[in-house]
Structure formats: structure tokens, C-alpha cells
Amino acid sequence: MPILSIESSCDETACAVLENGRALLASVVASQMDIHARYGGVFPEVASRQHVLSIVPVVEQALAEAKISLQDVDAIAATRGPGLAGSLVVGLNAAKGLALGSGKPLIGVNHLEGHLYAAWLHPASEQNPPPPPQFPLMALLVSGGHTEIDLMTGHLTYQRLGATLDDAAGEAFDKVARMLGLPYPGGPLVEKAAESGDPRAFVFKRPKTDGRWDFSFSGLKTAVLYAVRDLEKAGKPIPVSDLAASFQATVVDALIAKTVDAAREHGVKEILLAGGVSANGPLRQAFLQLQNDGFTVHIPRLAYCTDNAAMIAAAGWFRHQAGERAALDVDVLPTWPLS
């Protein structure tokens, strides 16, 4: 039987219906991006109010698209954290209401876990989906709030081997976008600008960290800032595309190098890429190249990379299979590490 899921950790109100842990019957995402763009980032108070407005229509639309009623679902999964408290409470409380009204069990899901499980998803209409990821696997999670390498030895089991010591990869993309005069959300626009740029135009050093599988992006971000300032001082035009391409290439290089190193060290052949930044074309390409080095690479489809509820349903399905249930007085967890 299907699972209904809700996601509202940041600025997307989303609901999905999933069957068998992988086959997606419906995935509806109401984005608030345009509203927050005028503030140059997510405005938490505005985000929670928008979730309140969108949540019921989004759930109704997902059920209609899946052609089922609430009585047909097996369980209701919702994001408990991490994320903005005021945003999380809207989705989690809506899920509690649906669970209470329908008598179906509630399952609380970690948003980061959801991102990883996006790699399991495929549209229900697809006849021959690719094989699901196998364990052990090395997962690189790159989003707006998190960047980490996790070793998964089985379902719902995570060992964090390294993480960013400062900015998350997506955060660095967004901040560099701002320096280059590109509007919010910057990540996709940096990628777009980089398409016509030369990745070797600026030489940015690959960030160094003491921890072998940790990341650091604030030095790189500052290097871009100084490059922009030097050009401005000299009265020269800012080569936005070249700067974007050089920055992006350095980030991709750092992400790939550490993930491969961690996989080799642990004798792991399966690699998984997830989180909003996994929508980045050159990063996806670079990961796919690793297949030539004997790795099996899993990357979620583009539609499931940035925040959505389908991924919450996938993780929720495995938690449901494991017999997990959340109490109806369960609270949100704005800070909630995976491991």
C-alpha cells in the first residue's frame, strides 16, 4: 500500500504518494522561491505563513494525482527536521492531523535521510527502473544547509566520515552568486553563468582541511570575493562567467576527490550523490565519470534533487517497514544530525 508524505523544512511545501518504497504515484511541490527572491534569501516568518496557505491544497492535489483517497494509504510520513522550526511545525502538524483523522500511523523522517533516499525513486509509470543502490555505499550529501560524507552499511544506517567545517556547498554557491550580482537562489544561476565561462580562467586552490574527509568552502568564497574586489579596484569589468566556471570547477573537484578517497579507503564500490547541489550538471557529469573507475554511481533524477516530499516518502517507507511509528505528540527537531 502507498505512503503519503509531507515536506516543509524550508521554502517548499510538498506532498507525495509513493508505492513500494520506490514507485512514485504523485509528487507536488509548491515553491516559495519567487516570494523569497525579493529578500535575497529565505525569510523564515514568511516561509511558515506560506506553508500554512499551501499545505492543504498541496495534499489534496497529490491525492488527486495519485487517484487515491487518504483511506487508501498505509502510513503518513513527514519531515521532523532539520530545518526552520516555524516551517517544520506546519508540515508535521498537518501530518499529525491526517494521521489522527484517518487512524494511519505517523512516521517522522530526517530531511537529510530523505535526500539520500531520493536515489531510490522512480516514476510509477516506468516499467524497468534502474537497480536500487546496494550496500555498503558512500554517500555525498550536498545541500544548502549541509555537506557531508556518510558511509551506509545498510538501510537507515549512517556513519558520518566528514562534513563541512564552515559553509555548506549550496550556501557557497548562493554566496558567490550574490558576489557576482546574480539573484537568489544563486546555485542554478552560477551553473548557468559558468556554461559560457572558462574554468581555468582563475586558479582557486582546492580547500584544505585537517580532517581527511571534511570540507571547507569559506576560503574559496573569500578568494572569489578578493578576485571581484581586485577587478573592481582596477576598474576592470567582472568576468562573471569565468569566475562562476572557475569557482564551480574547484567545488566539483573538492567534492569528487574526497568522496572517491573515502570510498577507496573503505573498500566501497557504490557511490551516491544527493541534496540540492546534486542538480548541478558538471557535478553530476563528474560523478558519472567515476563509473569508468569501477564505481557504481547513483544520482537522483533532477526532479528529486532539490527539496520535495517524494524523498521523504522513500525514507519513510523503509522506516515503516522497520516497524517505526511516531507518537502524535512528537515535536520538530530543527537541528538533527543523521548519525
Where b means 16+ CB within 10 Å and e means fewer, 241-266 reads bbbbbbbbbbbbebbbebbbbbbeee
For residue 307, state whether it binds ligand KG4 (rule: CB under 6 A). Answer: yes
Other residues' Cβ atoms within 10 Å of the Cβ of residue 63 = 20
| Span interacting with ligand KG4, options 18-26, 137-145, 215-223, 317-325, rule CB under 6 A | 137-145
Strands (E) located in 121-174: 122-123, 137-142, 147-152, 159-163
Q: Which is nearer to Zn ion, 246 or 308 (CB)?
A: 308
Q: Is 185 in the site for ligand KG4 (CB under 6 A)?
A: yes
- Which of 86, 144, 162, 300 binds ligand KG4 (CB under 6 A)? It is 144
**Of 291, 204, 299, 290, the residue nearest 242 (C-alpha):** 204
Told to check if 249 binds ligand KG4 by CB under 6 A, we report: no
- With binding defined as CB under 6 A, does residue 280 bind ligand KG4? yes
- Chain centroid to CA 131: how far? 21
- The interface partner of residue 113, options being Zn ion, ligand KG4, none and the CB cut-off 5 to 8 Å by kind, is none
Q: For residue 120, give the C-alpha cell.
A: 531510490
Tell me whether residue 75 or residue 310 sits nearer to ligand KG4 (CB atom).
Answer: 310
CB 160 within 8 A of CB 153: no
Using rule CB under 6 A, residue 174 touches ligand KG4: yes
Q: Which residues bind Zn ion (CB under 5 A)?
A: 143, 307
Nearer to Zn ion, 191 or 307 (CB): 307
The residue within the footprint of ligand KG4, chosen from 187, 199, 207, 316 (CB under 6 A), is 187
DSSP label at residue 218: H
Binding site for ligand KG4 (CB under 6 A): 10, 143-145, 170-171, 173-174, 185-188, 191, 275-277, 279-280, 306-307
